[in-house]
Structure 1
Amino acid sequence: MTGNISRGFGSPGKYIQGQNELNNLYKYTDLYGKNVSVIIDGFLFNDIKALLGKIYQDDSNVNYVKFSGECSVREINRFKLESEKFKSNVIVGIGGGKTLDTAKAVSGELSIPVIIVPTAASTDAPTSALTVIYTDEGIHSDFICHKKNPDIVLVDTAIICRAPVRLLVSGMGDALATYFEALANEASDTENYVGEGYRRTMLGMMIAKLCYETLIEKGLHAKIAAENGCCTEAFEDVVEANILLSGLGFENTGCAGAHGIHTGLTELPEANSYFHGEKVAFGTICQLVLENKSPELIDEVMGFCTSVGLPVTLGEMGIEDNDDTIRIIAKHSVKEILSEPFTITEESVFNSIKTANGLGKIYSNKCH
């Protein structure tokens, strides 16, 4: 329970979303100065650099840096030194979560603005004031809470639509947890992730609810649109839900059982080939079982997951569903589930995972 009676809400300075919005990047960087340092995902580097070379009439004012693959202290320091040498006025991060987190960290170190440009709608991290730090070998080591959220989040849905569809679906899995985790945090009166932690605003809770409603109503249509390379309004709405609504939702209301069970799943090497949101989706079902939610609600969530291709069983993530394996997940989940409004034990988490997996098997068999 939070000891703070004040309410807090955090968000990026601006959120802009639309087809070919990256072509307008210069308009936004010009707000902060002429010297721009851009960190770009390695596999996108040549294409993005060529595009930006056409956008900026004089790209001698643009410093292009290829991301190494890990948001590590060494990579942050490398980019920080390059940006200082270039006398950068603004940092731009273009790519996936680790690239964007590195850009946020450098911006924080140098106290200059940052523009975040995600190239997939696979997580809700772009809007947040958080950076997750890894070792050079890719092992999670720490996280940073920045003084502010990104100045601008720029989402080019033409680029998002060309990304693998599985990334969009994974983003739906991450966003699926937002409302249920918000409700758990509200019930337990746990502080959110804004600054040093505040109580939730009404707006934060309404955003989390709208996120869930958008997924249920439009998620399948968005997936089909993406499979056919179409930026429909349903696709645009789900991209907004994955990035903006879920991002504002989790930061302003908090995480709970779904992300805790995700952490437990990461202890299994066989789960490493599955995306964050895919594991969170299964964790959401486990949380609903843990909280004794209605069969109708669990059925709705499972129906959504199976319709878009999110896992509802351990087997669908390549994990053996024996008791020893489930016990490992439960043991490493329980210490992360701090925001539920009742006492959590390893046994209760074990039972929720095993039951959710059993329900998922029945649902999968029924659907096939």
Structure 2
Amino acid sequence: MDKIIISPSKYVQGEDVLASLAKYVAPIGSRPMAIADAFVTNLVGDTVRTSFSEQNIELSMEEFNGECSRPEIDRLREISASAKADVIIGIGGGKTLDTAKAMAFYQKVPVVIVPTIASTDAPTSALAVIYTPDGEFSEYLMIPTNPNMVVMDTKIIAGAPSRLLVSGMGDALSTYFEARANAISGKSTMAGGAPTRAAQALAKLCYETLLADGLKAKISVENGLSSPAVENIIEANTYLSGIGFESSGLAAAHAIHNGLTKLEECHHLFHGEKVAFGTLVQLVLENADIEEIRTVIAFCKELGLPTNLFAMGVKELNRDKLLEVAEASCAEGETIHNMPFEVTPIKVLSAILTAHELGA
């Protein structure tokens, strides 16, 4: 199997970097179209427009209606075609960014991704999640290339609710452990091959950065401020985790997250909050060293990430419901089968209950 690593062509991060957005976009397109929802447009629209005005570049800016659906993608594609846009810029949260990726893919133009939060590692990936107009999951759009550029304004991100950054740390927490399991099993990654040493090193650095700077970063953003720790965690949540998961592989933690969506009590949780518990379950499933498990539990508790089912909103331990979670985690095609041993629903149920007790 060939070794493959994939990534955005350029990653830019810094405080107030949004004011320089046009300078970074100019080399890849002269007729940019930006999309953002109403809230984000109100938050950063003037800064973005001024940036392009100062570079004498005409910017088309359209409002994203809130759902990454086929009708919304098609609507915005028509507008971009009329404007003869030669680069698409997505500014905001995950659905806005995925819509921009899809638009650019179908229009065959470059895309620039500008997250205003750091709650997942999706911005760097060659993937968009498509929903129905009513918000139900529809399909994954697998894009052959990663975004041309990802731009992270740490001042904007630090001003978002701290729970979003913490959720991003929960998502990033799984990266190293899933990469480690995938390396042992030798299964193919989302990049379509075996992991490179570089991707594995980024996954490990991601974990080390979380442990070193996670709590400090949380405290800073609770005060609405950036700091060196916030800068490091934004990079860990977005770039290190993004390259780490896509080019080193997913395993049990994200599959268990998918299984947890079966529990209605968990629907209020962010993606990374469920992944954090999924990481703990994976460590139990693979019988990791108890000190490593304790380190992960302590990290989650100091940040406020859930370490047991009760903390996720589950009222009682119903084994039939938890078995449904375990069965969904083990569905055909799930990434749990990238673990370096055979995984069954009963083994997952045992790991869930054990993780719950250890994290109580």
TM range (shorter): over 0.9
Q: Which residue of 2 aligns with 1:160?
A: 157
Q: Distance in 1 between matches of 2:197 and 2:16?
A: 34
Q: Which residue of 1 aligns with 2:178?
A: 181
Q: CA deviation at 1:306?
A: 0.1
TM (norm. structure 2) is 0.96
2:137 to 136, 140, 159: 140
Matched, 1:352 2:348: no
Q: Which residue of 1 aligns with 2:37?
A: 41
Q: CA deviation at 1:79?
A: 1.2
Q: CA deviation at 1:146?
A: 1.1
Q: CA deviation at 1:360?
A: 1.1
Q: Distance in 2 between matches of 1:268 and 1:117?
A: 32
1:256 to 241, 248, 251: 251
Q: Distance in 1 between matches of 2:139 and 2:49?
A: 35
Q: Distance in 2 between matches of 1:66 and 1:348?
A: 47
RMSD: 1.3
Q: CA deviation at 1:60?
A: 8.2
Q: CA deviation at 1:317?
A: 1.3
Give the secondary structure class of the aligned counterpart of 1:132: strand
Q: Which residue of 2 aligns with 1:113?
A: 110
Q: Which runs of 4+ in 1 moved over 4 A?
A: none
Matched, 1:77 2:74: yes
Give the secondary structure class of the aligned counterpart of 1:61: coil
Question: What are structure 2's unaligned runs of at least 5 residues?
Answer: none
Q: CA deviation at 1:239?
A: 0.7
Q: Distance in 2 between matches of 1:57 and 1:92?
A: 16
Give the secondary structure class of the aligned counterpart of 2:53: coil
Q: Distance in 1 between matches of 2:69 and 2:303?
A: 33
Q: Distance in 1 between matches of 2:147 and 2:240?
A: 15
Q: Which residue of 1 aligns with 2:5?
A: 9
* Most deviating of 321-330 and 271-280: 321-330
Q: Which residue of 2 aligns with 1:89?
A: 86
Q: Which residue of 2 aligns with 1:316?
A: 311
Deviations 1:279-333 (A, max 9, x none): 0000000000000001100000000000111000111111233212212211211
Deviations 1:165-187 (A, max 9, x none): 00000000000000000011111
Give the secondary structure class of the aligned counterpart of 1:93: strand
Question: What are structure 1's unaligned runs of at least 5 residues?
Answer: 362-368
Q: Distance in 2 between matches of 1:47 and 1:217?
A: 31
2:302 to 301, 304, 307: 307
CA contact (8 A) 2:160 2:224 kept: no
TM (norm. structure 1) is 0.94
Q: Distance in 2 between matches of 1:24 and 1:319?
A: 46
Q: Distance in 2 between matches of 1:132 and 1:109?
A: 15
Q: Distance in 2 between matches of 1:274 and 1:54?
A: 37
CA contact (8 A) 1:40 1:48 kept: no
1:281 to 265, 276, 279: 276
